[in-house]
Structure 1
Amino acid sequence: MPALIVYCSCPDAATADAIATALVDERLAACVTALPNARSTYRWEGRVEHSDELLLLIKTASERLDALIDRIRALHPYELPEVIAVEAVGGLAPYLRWVAEQSGVDA
């Protein structure tokens, strides 16, 4: 069962903490790591924008992705939040089993 790393940028620590806590508490993710001091440059509504953000690295089971996306959309203040899932093609087997178990999936 594949593990995923889901990237999600947040505008501030309060938003990042709220999303991380909800995802882990609701067993949609095993672990969420918040990386501070991310600087995003992007085009939005015809202008180049720059934002200081926190980047969440969300570890989850692939079976939980749809529910995880729905929960982020419900909690995130952005009109179009960044939610990008990348499959972990390998890793320490006991850790990957733990990710599945903590995400509410039988390993």
Structure 2
Amino acid sequence: MRIGLPSGLELQRGSLKTVVLTVLLSVFMFHLLRTVGLRAFSMASETYTSGTFSAAFVTCPNDTSAKDLARALVENKLAACVNIVPAIKSVYMWQGKIEMDDEALLIIKTKTSKMPAVAEYVRSNHPYEVAEVISMRIDQGNQPYLKWIGDVVPE
């Protein structure tokens, strides 16, 4: 069966379905490719200097002290985000003996320039005699996330 079109063109029914499907697919693909392209351009156009931000690790004796330290670090703008990893087992040497304890681990994301203040805050507010505060500079990462850390943590 042929279908008459206003322009005087006639198409087979199967051809019309193909045209409609092609148009719909093209519109969908345009939107998808445009979104992906804009994100890729945004990420590529942002610059990041390796080491500007750091991830720090602090172990805590329990969930309560971990939550208190995490909240205070974020409230005091010393960190943009602190993850609390519960129920880790730590095996370590202390005063000549091997110890094993249940702890919680804080993963702190901040500016590298804030690490001395983070370490001082933890030392002053941590229940351990010798608190673990170690950090690693972030070499690379998701640019929008790194920008967010920079926006949240002031100089």
| Bucket of the pairwise TM-score, normalised by the shorter protein | over 0.9
1:72-83 to 2 correspondences below 5 Å:
72-83=122-133
* Residue aligning to 1:47: 97
TM-score, normalization: structure 2? Answer: 0.66
CA deviation map 1:17-73 (0-9, x unaligned)? 110011000000000000011100000000000010000000000011111111111
Please give the root-mean-square deviation of Cα atoms over the aligned residues, in Å: 0.9
Which has the larger share of helix? Answer: 2
Instruction: In structure 2, give the amino acid aligned to 1:32.
Output: V
Larger relative contact order, structure 1 or 2 (CA cutoff 8 Å, min sep 6) = 1
Instruction: In structure 2, give the amino acid aligned to 1:103.
Output: V
Give the distance between the partners of 1:86 and 1:39, measured in 2 at CA: 21
- Stretches of 4+ moved more than 6 A in 1? none
Q: Identity over the aligned pairs, expressed in percent?
A: 37
* Residue aligning to 2:74: 24
* Residue aligning to 1:86: 136
Instruction: List gaps (5 residues or longer) in structure 1.
Output: none
| Length, aligned pairs only | 105
Note the C-alpha offset of 1:100.
1.6
* Residue aligning to 1:70: 120
Which has the larger share of strand? Answer: 1
TM-score, normalization: structure 1? Answer: 0.94
Q: Which has the larger Rg?
A: 2
